[in-house]
C-alpha cells in the first residue's frame, strides 16, 4: 500500500486528527546559533511545540534514551555522526519515530538516501525564513498526525484481534489467492474444537484441507462471488470423541480484523 493510499485509509477510519497535547520535538543541529534561533522561531509560530535541542547526534541518542519524543528534526551534515547515520541507527533498532531531515545540503542523492533509510520528509534550508519554517511546522504536524492515526489503528486492530480470539465459536480466516482460498488464521475456539489439528492446515489451499467438507469450499466461493453471507449445514466429527455433530458453517465476506 502506498503512503498516499495509507493516509487516505487512515483518514477514512479516523478523520483528520486535531492537535490536543503539545508535540514533543527533538531538534538537532551542530550550528548552535542556528539551532537556538530555530527553536525560538518555531515556538513563536506554533506554541503547541515543546522543543528540546541537541547539538550532536550523540547527544540526541542520549536524550532519546531518557525521554519520549513525537518527532525528530535533524540536520544532515554534523560533526561525528551525521543525520542519516542517526536515522539509520534508530530504524535498525526498530524505532519508527517520525524523522525529518532539515538541511542546507540540496543534493538529490542525499534526499533519496534519507527517504530510503526511512525519513518521513526532507526539507532544504534557505530562502524566505518564514515560509521555510512554516513549511517545516506543516511537516512536523503532518508527521505527528500520521503517527497518531497509525497508533490508533494499531490499537483498534489489537482490540479486534482480542474479540476474534475471544469469540466462543470457531472462526477461520481464508484469503483468496488465484483460483483457491488459503487458511491464514483461526481463533482459539477453532484450535480447541479441532484438537489443535487446524495448525497443520495453516497456509494450505482450502481445496486440500476441506476434502471431507466440500460445503465449506463451496460456501467460500459463493461468498466471494456474491459478497454476501452464506450459511451451510455440515456434519462434523469431533477429532477426540468421534462424536457426530450437526453444525452451521457461515461464510462472511468481511475480515474480523
Pairing of strands 23-28, 71-74: parallel
Nearest to 123 by CA among 59, 87, 76: 76
Alpha-carbon torsion, ordered 193, 197, 199, 204, to 10 deg: -110
Which residues are registered as beta bridge partners of 72? Answer: 26, 99
> What is the pLDDT at residue 195?
81
Cell of 130: 518564514
Please determine, for residue 44, whether its predicted confidence score (pLDDT) is greater than 50. Answer: yes
Instruction: Count other C-beta atoms under 10 Å from residue 219's C-beta.
Output: 20
Give backbone dihedrals phi and psi of 117, rounded to 5 degrees, phi first.
-80, -10
Q: pLDDT tens across 53-98, in order? A: 999 999 999 999 999 999 999 999 999 999 999 999 999 999 999 9
> What is the pLDDT at residue 5?
57
Which residues are registered as beta bridge partners of 237? Answer: 244
Q: CA 163 to CA 171: how far, in whole Å? A: 11
Mean of pLDDT values over 155-170:
91
Nearest to 133 by CA among 112, 87, 105, 102: 102
39 membership: H or E segment, kind and range: helix 32-45
- Select the highest-mean-pLDDT range: 17-31, 138-152, 186-200, 206-220: 138-152
* 215 within 8 A of 239, measured Cβ to Cβ: no
For residue 6, give every residue at least 6 positions away whose Cβ sits within 8 Å of its Cβ, in sequence order, or none: none
Q: pLDDT tens across 203-227, in order? A: 888 888 666 677 788 888 889 999 9
Nearest to 13 by CA among 154, 153, 161: 153
Specify the range with the lowest mean pLDDT, choosing from 46-60, 150-164, 215-229: 215-229
| Entry pTM | 0.70
Q: CA 232 to CA 215: how far, in whole Å? A: 7
> What is the pLDDT at residue 118?
96
Q: Over pLDDT 90: what percentage of the chain? A: 52
Strands of the sheet with 49-54, listed across from one edge? 49-54, 23-28, 71-74, 99-103, 121-124
Euclidean distance between the first and the last CA atom of the chain, given in angstroms as a whole number: 17
- The counts of H helices and E strands in the chain are 9, 9
Which residues are registered as beta bridge partners of 141? Answer: none
232 membership: H or E segment, kind and range: strand 230-237
Q: Which fold has domain 3-158?
A: Rossmann fold (3.40.50)
Amino acid at each position: 500500500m502506498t503512503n498516499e493510499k495509507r493516509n487516505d485509509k487512515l483518514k477514512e477510519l479516523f478523520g483528520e486528527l486535531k492537535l490536543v497535547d503539545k508535540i514533543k520535538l527533538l531538534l538537532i543541529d551542530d550550528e548552535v546559533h542556528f539551532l537556538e534561533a530555530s527553536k525560538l522561531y518555531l515556538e513563536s509560530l506554533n506554541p503547541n511545540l515543546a522543543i528540546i535541542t541537541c547539538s550532536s547526534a550523540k547527544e540526541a541518542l542520549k536524550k532519546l534514551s531518557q525521554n519520549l519524543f513525537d518527532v525528530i528534526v535533524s540536520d544532515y551534515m554534523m560533526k561525528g555522526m551525521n543525520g542519516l547515520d542517526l536515522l539509520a541507527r534508530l530504524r535498525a533498532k526498530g524505532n519508527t519515530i517520525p524523522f525529518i531531515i532539515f538541511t542546507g545540503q540540496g543534493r538529490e542523492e542525499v534526499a533519496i538516501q534519507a527517504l530510503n533509510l526511512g525519513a518521513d520528509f526532507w526539507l532544504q534550508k534557505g530562502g524566505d525564513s518564514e515560509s521555510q519554517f512554516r513549511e517545516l511546522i506543516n511537516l512536523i504536524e503532518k508527521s505527528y498526525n500520521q503517527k497518531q492515526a497509525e497508533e490508533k489503528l494499531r490499537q483498534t486492530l489489537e482490540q479486534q484481534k482480542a474479540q476474534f480470539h475471544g469469540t466462543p465459536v470457531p472462526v477461520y480466516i481464508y484469503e483468496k489467492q488465484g483460483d483457491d482460498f488459503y487458511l491464514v488464521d483461526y481463533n482459539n475456539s477453532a484450535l480447541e474444537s479441532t484438537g489443535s489439528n487446524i495448525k497443520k492446515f495453516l497456509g494450505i489451499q482450502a481445496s486440500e484441507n476441506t476434502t471431507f467438507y466440500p460445503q465449506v469450499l463451496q460456501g467460500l466461493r459463493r461468498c466471494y462471488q456474491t459478497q454476501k453471507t452464506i450459511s451451510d449445514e455440515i456434519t462434523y466429527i469431533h477429532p477426540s470423541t468421534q462424536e457426530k455433530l450437526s453444525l452451521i458453517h457461515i461464510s462472511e465476506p468481511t475480515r474480523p480484523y
